[in-house]
């Protein structure tokens, strides 16, 4: 996690937005939250709380709240791709690329991410609906 509010000495302050209260995510689990209209995976290990893009890079399938696989990995419910819950590094496929970690910080027990790190994602398949869902930025925040 980063605690800096600036990207460089001459950069404008970055806008952080709240994602979830850290206490609401149990150690060894991952939660899925919305931030500024984007899906964010929040993984909590014994050592840290990290935020990642909310869809698997393999098939744009949305993650669902669950226990971390082996207590250390984020696992996609569609095809089983696994990612390190601290770094986002790919542990096993079928994905070919890592899960993008979002720059984050904790303020007063609340996990916040840099708003500019949230990018428009393609339509994604949801485990809840089994179908392709619309992906829209809400502009809230």
d(CA 9, CA 11): 6
d(CA 98, CA 90): 5
Secondary structure (3-state) at 117: helix
Q: Give percent of the chain above pLDDT 70.
A: 75
Cβ contact 65:32 at 8 Å = yes
pLDDT tens by residue, 63-89: 889 999 998 999 998 888 999 999 999
Ordered structural domains, the chain, with CATH: 16-117 (2.102.10.10)
Residue 83's pLDDT is 95
Residue 3's pLDDT is 44
Q: Which residue has the tokens 């250390």?
A: 72
Residue 11's pLDDT is 67
Q: Which two tokens stand for residue 21?
A: 């209260």
Whether the model pTM is above 0.85? no
How confident is residue 7, by pLDDT bands cut at 50, 70 and 90?
low
pLDDT tens by residue, 114-140: 988 776 444 444 444 443 333 322 222
């Amino acid at each position: 996690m980063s605690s800096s509010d600036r990207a460089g000495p001459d950069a404008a302050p970055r806008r952080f937005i709240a994602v979830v209260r850290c206490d609401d995510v149990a150690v060894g689990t991952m939660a899925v939250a919305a931030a500024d209209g984007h899906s964010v995976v929040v993984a909590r290990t014994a050592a840290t709380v990290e935020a990642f893009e909310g869809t698997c890079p393999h098939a744009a399938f949305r993650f669902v709240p669950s226990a971390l696989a082996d207590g250390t990995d984020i696992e996609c419910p569609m095809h089983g791709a696994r990612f390190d819950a601290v770094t986002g590094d790919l542990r096993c496929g079928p994905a070919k690329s890592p899960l993008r970690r979002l720059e984050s910080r904790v303020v007063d027990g609340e996990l916040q991410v840099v708003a500019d790190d949230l990018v428009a994602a393609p339509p994604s398949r949801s485990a809840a609906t089994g179908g392709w869902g619309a992906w829209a930025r809400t502009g809230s925040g």
